[in-house]
């Protein structure tokens, strides 16, 4: 049973437009959520995170929204740039932050930003 779900395996967006990547989770114990970006044959790189006590966290072009009641989070990238093309993984953990706790990953969404 997959506890973190990214139901869209791929997404194509025009450069300059908004990219919205979605993630759903089933485990109500999760209290910390992260987004990672991954290029082929490389390890994931951290993008942005959000604690369950917040509903929004913003960092430059990246904003993560959390809807706890719906067990849903989304990553917004605006404006999208060709360099954003990669696979984006949603991850979740529980405990006092992601530092020392295991991450459960979704299957990823491949974002293609078209110039």
Which residues are at the interface with other proteins (CB under 8 A)?
Answer: 2, 4, 9, 34, 36, 41-46, 49, 89, 97-108
Q: How far is the CB of 82 from other proteins (least distance, A)?
A: 22
CA dist 85 and 113 (Å) reads 5
Pairing of strands 10-14, 109-114: parallel
CA dist 60 and 40 (Å) reads 24
Q: How far is the CB of 107 from other proteins (least distance, A)?
A: 4
Q: How far is the CB of 45 from other proteins (least distance, A)?
A: 7
Return the number of the residue (62 or 78) whose C-beta is nearest other proteins.
62
Return the number of the residue (11 or 78) whose C-beta is nearest other proteins.
11
Q: How far is the CB of 27 from other proteins (least distance, A)?
A: 14
CA dist 65 and 113 (Å) reads 21
Return the number of the residue (80 or 108) whose C-beta is nearest other proteins.
108
Residue appearing with tokens 């992260």: 34
**Which element (helix H / strand E) includes 90?**
strand 86-93
Peptide bond into 38 cis (omega under 30): no
Return the number of the residue (19 or 49) whose C-beta is nearest other proteins.
49
């Amino acid at each position: 049973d997959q506890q973190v779900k990214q139901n869209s395996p791929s997404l194509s967006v025009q450069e300059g437009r908004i990219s919205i990547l979605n993630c759903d989770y089933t485990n109500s114990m999760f209290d910390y959520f992260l987004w990672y970006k991954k290029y082929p044959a490389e390890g994931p790189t951290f993008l942005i995170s959000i604690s369950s006590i917040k509903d929004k966290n913003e960092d430059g072009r990246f904003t993560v929204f959390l809807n706890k009641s719906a067990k849903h989070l989304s990553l917004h990238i605006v404006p999208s740039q060709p360099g954003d093309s990669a696979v984006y993984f949603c991850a979740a953990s529980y405990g006092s932050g992601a530092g020392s706790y295991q991450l459960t990953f979704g299957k990823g969404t491949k974002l293609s930003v078209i110039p």
